[in-house]
């Protein structure tokens, strides 16, 4: 029996040896690897964001993150003071960090140190202190492009703006390396690559950084001058649909977000909505011209300067008397556009608004974009039709308003708006008749030449646009002491290239009309932008005439 037992044991042992060495050999390999093989992640380089001319807007720079094993640091208490000094923290804070995490194998000591500072700490050779090579996002243009580009978190994950909207495109796939260590943790075999790093893809925006800087500076000056709560500016290339500039005030520094207030982060051009006021009147006029009942010279009687609509009163600033359709825009007559809207019908007016993109997002891929509000009702009262005709009762974003004016500039062709640079301009879709669009553009030029937008004149170019001054809504309705000044326009009129919208929110000094607050910004920004884009100026005699007219004050609008 004893011999049988010994034979069985011997056979069992032999079988197990054969099983482990030949059949199930991965078991011993895995057990050995657990004790000696280590893997380390190789961080992927996040894609660079450029402007349209190849200037960097967001780049990733190499940094060092220091970590430690608390159990090892607890055995080297005599070196804590030295380590705390090198890290730039108090010894008390370091001691609390180690003691609170004594049961863990990993703690961060300090993240995103410069390679030079990290090397100095590692040179101390304190037991348990190790490094991880990472990347940190840096934004060369700082606050000038902050609202547009956005920022990432400490792990380089997009949190706002383009960084968030295109995070999947920009972030790469980390690699992995393998190396062997002995039982004391010493390197026994050099690392070998297990998985290659896949860097993030580059992204080229439509923004022109030179125009962006200039627009930011001019908007900041206007907000400071008028002691305004906020401001926004967006500029679109009419011929391609590309956004050349998008700036807001107040701004923030994405490279130093300590104590950053949340209200500074919002990209107001895309996320905030407002009632467009008189800047919507050109599209009401467009609906009237499309009906065939009106031409540029059709007379409209606005006497005596007010009209009763139901129980409500619609008024103009002055009694303009007999006007043409063109002078209705020039004088910004509420009565004139109300009569046209009530004559052609609310369906025609709403259809015109829909065709230029009101009530729907532009599709630029920016996170948090608002669609605005375009009302739809089965029954409309006369006063609702009236207020809608001159820009109340609906909301739009500054970007939507700029897109609508870009349609006018493109002579009735709607091209999708883009934040990404386009190599080939899209053909677009015709939404308005070319002649009617040209007529409305010519009407807008009279607003700048003789109407409320005279401060929007651009030397050497004929431009057109429309002022808007909107009362803000409070708890008890529209308020008389809170306004938004707006100017929306196209430059130059003869061969449109730029559509620009400026919004000055709650100006408190130097007037609050759009013609006083926003129109001068349009003038300066477009004068510089047209020169930067090498758009040829007009003839000398036209230029001289415009300079003479530039001194006139005009209706503030």
Q: ∠ CA 480-402-506 to the nearest 5 degrees?
A: 25
pLDDT for residue 542: 47
* Stated length of the chain: 557
Contact assessment for residue 472 and residue 484, using Cβ atoms and an 8 Å cutoff = yes
pLDDT for residue 28: 64
Task: Judge whether residue 552 has pLDDT over 50.
Answer: no
Percent of the chain residues past pLDDT 70, beyond the cut = 90
- The CA–CA distances, whole Å, from 53 to 57, 147, 348, 499 equal 11, 19, 42, 20
Alpha-carbon torsion angle 86, 90, 95, 98, nearest 10 = -60
Question: What region does 190 belong to: left with phi over 0, alpha with psi -120 to 50, or beta?
Answer: beta
9 within some domain: no
Per-residue pLDDT, averaged over 461-485, amounts to 92
Assign 3-class secondary structure to 366-431.
Answer: CCCCCCCECCCCCCCCHHHHHHHHCCCCCEECHHHHHHHHHHHHCCCEECCCECECCCCCCCCEEC
Q: Is the domain of 221 the same as that of 95?
A: no
Q: What is the DSSP letter of 186?
A: -
In 10 A of CB 73, how many CB atoms?
Answer: 25
Q: Is the domain of 357 the same as that of 459?
A: yes
CA distance 529 to 314: 39
Q: Is the domain of 482 the same as that of 507?
A: yes
- Tell me, what CATH number does 52's domain have? 3.90.1310.10
Catalytic residue among 60, 232, 278, 348: 278
Q: Is the domain of 144 the same as that of 248?
A: no
For the stretch 63-108, pLDDT in tens is 888 888 888 888 888 888 888 888 888 888 988 888 888 878 788 8
Give the pLDDT band (50/70/90) at residue 550. very low
Stated pTM of the model: 0.84
Take residue 341 and report the two structure tokens written for it: 């809207």
Q: Is the domain of 249 the same as that of 147?
A: no
For the stretch 369-422, pLDDT in tens is 999 999 988 899 999 999 999 999 999 999 999 999 999 999 999 999 999 999
Q: Is the domain of 230 the same as that of 167?
A: no
Q: How many domains does the chain have?
A: 2
Inter-helix orientation angle 346-355/334-344, to 10°: 100
Give the pLDDT band (50/70/90) at residue 285. very high
Per-residue pLDDT, averaged over 531-536, amounts to 94
One DSSP character per residue, 105-162 reads S-EEEEEEE-HHHHHHHHTT--TTEEEEEEEEEE-TTGGGSHHHH--B-TTS-B-SHH
CA distance 531 to 454: 20
User: Is the bond preceding residue 304 a cis peptide, omega within 30 degrees?
Assistant: yes
CA distance 98 to 85: 15
299 within some domain: yes
Highest mean pLDDT range out of 18-22, 189-193, 298-302?
298-302
423 within some domain: yes
pLDDT for residue 168: 93
Domain boundary at 140, 169, 193, which? 193
- Tell me, what CATH number does 295's domain have? 3.40.710.10
Task: Judge whether residue 544 has pLDDT over 70.
Answer: no
199 within some domain: no
Q: Is the domain of 51 the same as that of 162?
A: yes
Question: Which residue range is the domain that position 280 belongs to?
Answer: 209-255+268-549
Q: Is the domain of 340 the same as that of 446?
A: yes
Q: Is the domain of 280 the same as that of 428?
A: yes
pLDDT for residue 551: 38
Q: Is the domain of 186 the same as that of 286?
A: no
For the stretch 447-469, pLDDT in tens is 999 999 999 999 999 999 999 99
Give the pLDDT band (50/70/90) at residue 39. low
Q: Is the domain of 112 the same as that of 230?
A: no
Q: Would the CA dihedral through 430, 433, 438, 441 be positive or negative?
A: negative
557 within some domain: no
Q: Is the domain of 291 the same as that of 415?
A: yes
The beta strands (E) that lie in 169-238 are given as: 175-181, 187-195, 203-204, 230-237
CB contact set of 10 (below 8 Å; sequence gap of 6+): none
User: Is the bond preceding residue 250 a cis peptide, omega within 30 degrees?
Assistant: yes
For the stretch 153-172, pLDDT in tens is 888 899 999 999 999 999 98
198 within some domain: no
499 within some domain: yes
Say whether 90 is catalytic: no
Mean pLDDT of all residues belonging to the chain? 89
CB contact set of 450 (below 8 Å; sequence gap of 6+): 330, 554
11 within some domain: no
């Amino acid at each position: 029996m004893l011999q049988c037992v010994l034979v069985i044991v011997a056979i069992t042992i032999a079988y197990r040896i054969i099983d482990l060495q030949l059949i199930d050999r991965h078991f011993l390999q895995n057990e050995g690897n657990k004790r000696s093989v280590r893997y380390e992640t190789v961080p992927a380089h996040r894609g660079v964001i450029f402007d349209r001319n190849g200037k960097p807007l967001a780049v990733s720079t190499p940094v060092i993150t220091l970590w430690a094993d608390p159990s090892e640091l607890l055995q080297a208490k005599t070196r804590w003071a030295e380590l705390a000094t090198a890290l730039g923290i108090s010894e008390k804070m370091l001691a609390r960090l180690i003691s609170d995490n004594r049961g863990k194998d990993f703690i961060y000591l300090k993240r995103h140190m410069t390679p030079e500072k990290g090397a100095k700490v590692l040179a101390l050779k304190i037991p348990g202190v190790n490094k991880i090579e990472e990347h940190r996002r840096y934004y060369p243009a700082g606050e000038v492009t902050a609202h547009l580009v956005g920022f990432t978190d400490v792990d380089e994950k997009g949190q706002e703006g383009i960084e968030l909207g295109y995070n999947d495109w920009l972030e790469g796939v980390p690699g992995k390396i393998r190396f062997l260590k002995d039982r004391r943790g010493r390197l026994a075999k050099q690392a070998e690559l297990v998985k290659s790093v896949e860097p993030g893809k580059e992204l080229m925006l439509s923004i022109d950084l030179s125009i962006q800087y200039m627009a930011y500076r001019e908007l900041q000056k206007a907000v400071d001058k008028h002691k305004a709560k906020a401001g926004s500016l967006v500029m679109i290339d009419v011929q391609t649909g590309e956004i050349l500039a998008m700036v807001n005030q107040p701004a923030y520094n994405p490279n130093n977000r300590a104590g950053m207030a949340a209200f500074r982060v919002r990209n107001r051009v895309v996320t905030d909505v407002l009632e467009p006021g008189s800047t919507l009147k050109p599209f009401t006029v467009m609906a009237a011209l499309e009906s065939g009942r009106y031409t540029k010279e059709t007379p409209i009687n606005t006497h005596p300067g007010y009209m009763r609509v139901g129980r409500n009163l619609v008024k103009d600033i002055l009694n303009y008397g007999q006007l043409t359709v063109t002078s209705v825009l020039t004088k910004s007559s509420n009565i004139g556009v109300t009569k046209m809207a009530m004559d052609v019908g609310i369906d025609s007016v709403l259809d015109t608004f829909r065709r230029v993109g009101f009530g729907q997002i532009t599709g630029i891929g920016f996170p948090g974009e608002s669609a605005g509000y375009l009302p739809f009702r089965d029954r409309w009262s006369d006063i609702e039709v009236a207020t809608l005709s001159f820009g109340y009762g609906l909301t739009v974003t500054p970007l939507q308003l700029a897109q609508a004016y870009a349609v006018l500039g493109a002579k009735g062709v709607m091209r999708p708006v883009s934040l990404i640079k386009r190599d080939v301009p899209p053909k677009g879709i015709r939404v308005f008749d070319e002649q009617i669009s040209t007529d409305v553009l010519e009407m807008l030029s009279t607003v700048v030449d003789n109407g409320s937008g005279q401060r929007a004149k651009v030397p050497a170019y004929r431009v057109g646009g429309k002022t808007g001054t909107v009362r803000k809504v409070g708890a008890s309705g529209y308020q008389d002491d809170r306004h938004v000044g707006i100017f929306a326009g196209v430059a130059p009129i003869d061969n449109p290239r730029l559509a620009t919208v400026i919004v000055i929110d709650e100006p408190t000094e130097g007037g609050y009309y759009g013609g006083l607050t926003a129109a001068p910004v349009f003038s300066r920004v477009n004068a510089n932008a047209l020169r930067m884009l090498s758009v040829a100026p007009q003839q000398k005699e036209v230029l001289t005439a415009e300079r003479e007219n530039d001194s006139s004050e005009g209706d503030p609008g």
